[in-house]
Amino acid sequence: MPIVIAIDGTSASGKSTTARRVAKHFGYTYIDTGAMYRTLAWHCLVRQTDPHDEKAVTAVCRKWKSSLVNVDHQVRMLVEGYYPEKEIRTSEASAAVAIIAANTKVRDWMKTLQQSCLQFGDLVMEGRDIGTAIFPDTDFKFYLDAPLAERSKRRWADGVQEDLAKRDHSDSQRASNPLMIALGAMVINNAGLTIEQTSQLIIDEVHRRLEARRY
C-alpha cells in the first residue's frame, strides 16, 4: 500500500510550498487538490455553467472525461487534454471554486478521483479534507495554520487580494467534509516559521512515524 502524507490547513497557511518540498525530499508525487477543485470551477465557467446550480455542476462532472497525468512527480488535471495552469488562479475562478467545493456530489466525485491517485504510488496530497475524508487511515497527517492577520499579509505579499476570513468561514462551515483537524494529525502553527522550518518539522515527523512502524 503506498504511503500518503496528508497536509490540510487553512488558506495561505503555506500548504502548497511546504507540500512540494516534502514531496521532493521523499521522492513522492505531489498533488494539489485545491487545483483540482479550481480546474472544475474553471471548466464550469468556460461552459457557462452557473456554479450555484448544483444539478448542472454535477452533470458537468458526470459528463467530463477528466484525466490525471503525472509530470515530474506532480499530478495535473487536464480538461480535454489541456492544462489550465494559470487560468484556475483568476479571481473569477477563486470566487466560483468556493461555491462548487460546497456541493456534496462534487465532493463525492472528487473523492473517487483523489483516491485514484494511488495509481501514482507514494503521495503528498494537500487540501482541506485529505486526512479526514480522502485518506482517513493514513498515519501521516498534518494540519497547518497561522493567525488570520499573518495569512492575510502573505496573500498581500503574493499580490492577491482575498477575503481570507470569508474563505475560512466557507471552508470550515460547509456541511460536507468541512475543514477540520484530523484525528492523529500533527498541528503546526507556522507563524514566525520559514517554509524550510515548517517543511523540516513535517519531514522529521514522517521519518519518526516511518521508523515507529518498523517495530
Secondary structure class of 89 (helix, strand, coil): helix
Instruction: Name the maximum alpha-carbon separation found in the chain.
Output: 55
Beta carbon nearer to ligand DC, 15 or 73 = 15
Which stretch in 21-29, 54-62, 95-103, 139-147 sits in contact with ligand DC by CB under 6 A? 95-103
Residue 98 vs 202, nearer CB to ligand DC:
98
Cβ atoms of 37 and 96 within 8 Å: the answer is no
76 scored as a contact of ligand DC (CB under 6 A): no
**Sheet containing 4-9, strands listed edge to edge, beginning at the edge strand earlier in sequence:** 67-71, 74-78, 29-32, 123-127, 4-9, 140-145, 186-189
Write out the binding residues for ligand DC, residues 144-183 only, by CB under 6 A: 167, 171
By CB under 6 A, residue 127 contacts ligand DC: yes
Please, what is the minimum distance in Å from the beta carbon of residue 110 to ligand DC? 7
- The answer to the question of residue 185 lying near ligand DC (CB under 6 A) is no
Q: Which stretch binds ligand DC (CB under 6 A): 52-60, 96-104, 181-189, 199-207?
A: 96-104
The region of 22-30, 34-42, 76-84, 182-190 touching ligand DC under the rule CB under 6 A is 34-42
Least distance to ligand DC, CB of residue 162, Å: 9
How far is Cα 85 from Cα 37, in angstroms, rounded to an integer? 13
Nearest to 140 by CA among 96, 186, 108: 186
- Angle 179-211-116 (CA atoms, 0-180°, nearest 5)? 45
Contact 50, 190 (CB under 8 A): no
The closest alpha carbon to 126, from 16, 14, 23, belongs to: 16
**Position 136 contacts ligand DC (CB under 6 A):** no
Does 33 bind ligand DC (CB under 6 A)? Our answer is yes
Positions in the binding site for ligand DC (CB under 6 A): 11, 33-34, 37-38, 97-98, 101, 127-129, 167, 171
